[in-house]
Every structure is written in structure tokens, then in C-alpha cells.
């Protein structure tokens, strides 16, 4: 089995076709991985954080060998989602602007941990962790973060 795991996979609505984007150097044979409907995806749950301190959101998926990429998105109050961070092996986590420098992402495909340090009031909202797999699409879960400001004395 040659080649590396593709960096990005997009599924069409009928899930019968996938567009795989990568580099020319990524050419090769890729293992087909699918998200199992039997495997459990567990989100840690909603969190409360204090502005200026650190917080961690996490999700766990039971079959990491089937995962190609993990994607974290923040969902706005209007329902729009914006990418926060992603990770695919082999490689380094990708953190989107303007979060670089204060957000980090674990380098595993089983338990993903999104670290925010320091937490800011604008970080408040709901975050989706999405485990992307080939052929059967993806599985996702949501955790919401509530941020409290520190009062001045």
C-alpha cells in the first residue's frame, strides 16, 4: 500500500462519490476506511470556562483506524459553521486564523482534544467535532462552551 492519507475528503450528497484532494506527491493507493455505525462517538459534553484561562473540548471515536481526518467547527448563532482546526495523519494539525497561537489540537485519530488558551469571550458557542471517513461519510458530535468574564475588584 503506497502513498499517504489524503489531506481533504469531500463527499457528495448521495455519498456514492468522494472528491479527494492532496498533493501530486500523495499519488498512490489509499486504504478505504469507513465510519462504522456501530462505533460510538462520545463528546465530553458542554463546558464552562473563565475568560483568560484554558479550556479543553474533547470527543472520542471507537474505531480510529477508520478515520481519515478530524475537523472541528464552531457553529454561530445563525447556524453557520466556520472551521477551527483539523488533523489528518501523517501531518500536523491545521489551526485556522485568527485562532493560531492560542488554540492547539491533539495529534490522534481516536480522542481529539481542542485546547483553547487563553479562552476569550468570543470563543463562546457550540463546537462540532467531525470524524471523516471514506465511503460512509462522517460522524459528528457537538459540545457547547460557555465563557464567563472575570470581574474586576
More confident of the two residues 109 and 30: 109
Rounded to two decimals, the pTM is 0.73
More confident residue, 95 or 4: 95
Q: Which residues contact 124 (CB under 8 A, 6 or more apart)?
A: 145, 146, 147
- Residue 6's CB: how many other CB atoms inside 10 A? 19
Distance (Å, rounded) from C-alpha 70 to C-alpha 105? 10
Could you give the angle at the alpha carbon of 57 between the alpha carbons of 61 and 90, nearest 5°?
55
72 versus 61: which is more confidently predicted? 72
| Residues 128, 110: Cα–Cα separation, whole Å | 15
What pLDDT, on the 0 to 100 scale, is given for residue 83?
A: 95
- Locate 88 and state its grid cell: 489528518
Minimum mean pLDDT range among 35-44, 55-64, 77-86, 144-153? 35-44
List beta partners, residue 129.
72, 141
Confidence of residue 114 (pLDDT cuts 50, 70, 90): very high
DSSP 25-92: GG-S--------SSS-EEE---EEEETTS-EEEEEEES-GGG--EEEEEEE-TTS-EEEEEEEESSS-
Looking at residue 105, what is its pLDDT? 97
Please report the pLDDT score of residue 136 as a whole number. Answer: 67
Name which residue leads in pLDDT, 107 or 23: 107
pLDDT digits (tens, 9 = 90+) for 81-96: 999 999 998 899 999 9
- For the chain, list the domains and their CATH numbers: 29-148 (2.60.40.10)
Amino acid at each position: 500500500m503506497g502513498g499517504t492519507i489524503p489531506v481533504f475528503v469531500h463527499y457528495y450528497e448521495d455519498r456514492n462519490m468522494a472528491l479527494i484532494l492532496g498533493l501530486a506527491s500523495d499519488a498512490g493507493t489509499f486504504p478505504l476506511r469507513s465510519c462504522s455505525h456501530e462505533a460510538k462517538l462520545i463528546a465530553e459534553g458542554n463546558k464552562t470556562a473563565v475568560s483568560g484561562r484554558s479550556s479543553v473540548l474533547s470527543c472520542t471515536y471507537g474505531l480510529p483506524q477508520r478515520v481519515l481526518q478530524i475537523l472541528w467547527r464552531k457553529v454561530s448563532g445563525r447556524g453557520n459553521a466556520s472551521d477551527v482546526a483539523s488533523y489528518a495523519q501523517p501531518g500536523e494539525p491545521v489551526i485556522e486564523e485568527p485562532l493560531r497561537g492560542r488554540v492547539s489540537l491533539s495529534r490522534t485519530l481516536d480522542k481529539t482534544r481542542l485546547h483553547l488558551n487563553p479562552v476569550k469571550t468570543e470563543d463562546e458557542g457550540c463546537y462540532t467535532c467531525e470524524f471523516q471517513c471514506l465511503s460512509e461519510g462522517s460522524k459528528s458530535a457537538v459540545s457547547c462552551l460557555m465563557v464567563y468574564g472575570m470581574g474586576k475588584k
